[in-house]
């Protein structure tokens, strides 16, 4: 994400005039730094979070959970059956056999009952304490980076200029969706409509909600800000929201990577590493 759309061309950018667009400085150093810090932090938060989730692989709605309650919305489990051990996923009262992936995974000769398999958790073995240390450290990295980015982006006008949707963005939304569905991309020095909506949703809704629900699960924060947990519907509801936001961020990441590959990975990566981005060539025949 950029903090300014500079349109100056790099010397010698148009190697083939009319066929190759110019290089513009699209991503500032601050934008690139925060982008990669978020990527690293979210990756480690995801894997360490799954380690923590494995300690109690169930989600509930409300403030409490336990044997006397029937308020689970998602649960992973393993059971012995006449045909051998099986892994199950229960979602809103519906049971699915997910042996080998969720509930029960590992080598066929020695499967292990665990919600998520070892290859997607940090550490790969059962170690709740280490998982919590890693998770909390990178949660503070994410929070601090997001706060500093927000302050800087408000000061330099990045939010107002590049991320805040305008009336024309809403009018262009149907055509922008159609272009993306046909993998027809326009390389310009500014964000398109879908980028504004998707990046804005992540930065101003999903990430803050992830941080707030994480704080609501902390006993120390309950003492300092007791109304936060109640505002989110209870500790267990906050945990469920936290998990749901994680899934949405994973979905965003998958779509983001697919769009980068479809739009031209070299150009997109160059933009987030060096700041320089090659735009579409200008059609000289349409110039006055």
Does any domain span residue 10? Answer: no
The verdict on 195 and 255 lying in the same domain is yes
Count up the domains in the chain and report the number: 2
pLDDT band for position 5 (50/70/90)?
A: very low
With respect to residue 267, please indicate whether it lies within any of the assigned structural domains.
yes
Q: Considering the domain boundaries, does residue 1 fall inside one?
A: no
218 in the same domain as 147: yes
Reported as a single tens digit per residue, the pLDDT across 213-238 is 999 988 888 778 888 888 888 889 99
Q: How far apart are CA 193 and CA 191, in angstroms?
A: 7
In this prediction the pTM is: 0.83
Does residue 16 fall inside a structural domain?
Answer: no
pLDDT at 208 over 60: yes
Same-domain status, 163 and 257: yes
As a whole-number percent, the residues of the chain with pLDDT over 90 amount to 50
Cα–Cα distance between 261 and 269 in angstroms, integer?
10
**Confidence check: pLDDT of 106 > 80:** yes
**103 and 224 housed in the same domain:** no
Of 115, 135, 150, which residue is a domain's last? Answer: 115
Residues 177 and 261 placed together within one structural domain of the fold: yes
- Give, to the nearest 10 degrees, the angle between helix 29-55 and helix 128-155: 150
**Phi-psi label, residue 277: left if phi above 0, alpha if psi -120 to 50, beta otherwise:** beta
CATH, residue 259: 1.20.950.20
Would 87 be classed as within a structural domain? yes
Predicted pLDDT at 21: 76
Cα angle 77, 242, 41 (rounded to 5 degrees) comes to: 105
Asked whether residue 8 is domain-assigned, the answer is no
Question: Which residue in the block uniquely carries the two structure tokens 């990430």?
Answer: 207
Four-point Cα dihedral 204, 207, 208, 209, nearest 10: 110
Residues 41 and 183 reside in one and the same domain: yes
End-of-domain residue from the set 70, 86, 115: 115
If asked whether residues 187 and 243 sit together in one domain, one would say: yes
Query: In this structure, are 107 and 132 located in the same domain?
Result: no
Task: Assess whether 236 and 273 both reside in one domain.
Answer: yes
Domain containing residue 67:
60-115
**Same domain flag for 94 and 155:** no
Is residue 33's pLDDT more than 70? yes
Say yes or no: 149 and 270 in one domain: yes
Mean pLDDT of 90-116: 94
Task: Please give the pLDDT value at position 213.
Answer: 95
Question: Quick check: is 277 in a domain?
Answer: yes
Examine residue 4 and state whether it is found in any structural domain, yes or no: no
Check whether residue 235 and residue 282 sit in a common domain. Answer: yes
Per-residue confidence (pLDDT) for residue 22, from 0 to 100: 86
What is the average per-residue pLDDT within 130-141? 96
Last residue of a domain, one of 77, 94, 115: 115
């Amino acid at each position: 994400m950029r903090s300014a759309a500079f349109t100056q061309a790099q010397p010698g950018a148009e190697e083939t005039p009319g066929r190759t667009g110019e290089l513009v400085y699209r991503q500032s150093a601050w934008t690139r730094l925060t982008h990669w810090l978020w990527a690293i932090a979210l990756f480690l938060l995801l894997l360490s979070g799954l380690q923590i989730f494995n300690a109690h692989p169930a989600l509930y709605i409300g403030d409490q959970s336990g044997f006397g309650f029937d308020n689970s919305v998602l649960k992973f489990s393993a059971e012995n059956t006449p045909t051998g051990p099986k892994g199950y996923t229960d979602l809103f009262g519906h049971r699915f056999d997910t042996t080998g992936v969720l509930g029960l995974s590992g080598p066929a000769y020695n499967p292990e009952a665990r919600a998520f398999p070892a290859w997607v958790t940090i550490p790969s073995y059962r170690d709740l304490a280490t998982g919590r240390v890693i998770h909390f450290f990178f949660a503070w990295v994410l929070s601090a980076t997001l706060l500093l980015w927000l302050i800087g982006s408000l000061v330099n006008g990045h939010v107002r200029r590049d991320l805040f949707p305008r009336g024309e963005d809403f009018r262009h939304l149907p055509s922008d969706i159609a272009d993306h569905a046909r993998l027809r991309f326009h390389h310009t020095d500014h964000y398109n409509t879908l980028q504004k909506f998707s990046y804005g949703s992540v930065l101003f809704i999903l990430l803050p909600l992830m941080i707030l629900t994480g704080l609501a699960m902390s006993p120390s924060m309950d003492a300092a800000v007791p109304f936060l947990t109640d505002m989110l519907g209870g500790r267990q509801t906050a945990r469920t929201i936290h998990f749901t936001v994680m899934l949405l961020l994973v979905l965003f990441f998958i779509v983001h990577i697919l769009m980068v590959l479809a739009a031209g990975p070299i150009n997109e990566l160059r933009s987030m590493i060096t700041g320089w981005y090659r735009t579409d060539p200008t059609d000289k025949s349409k110039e006055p």
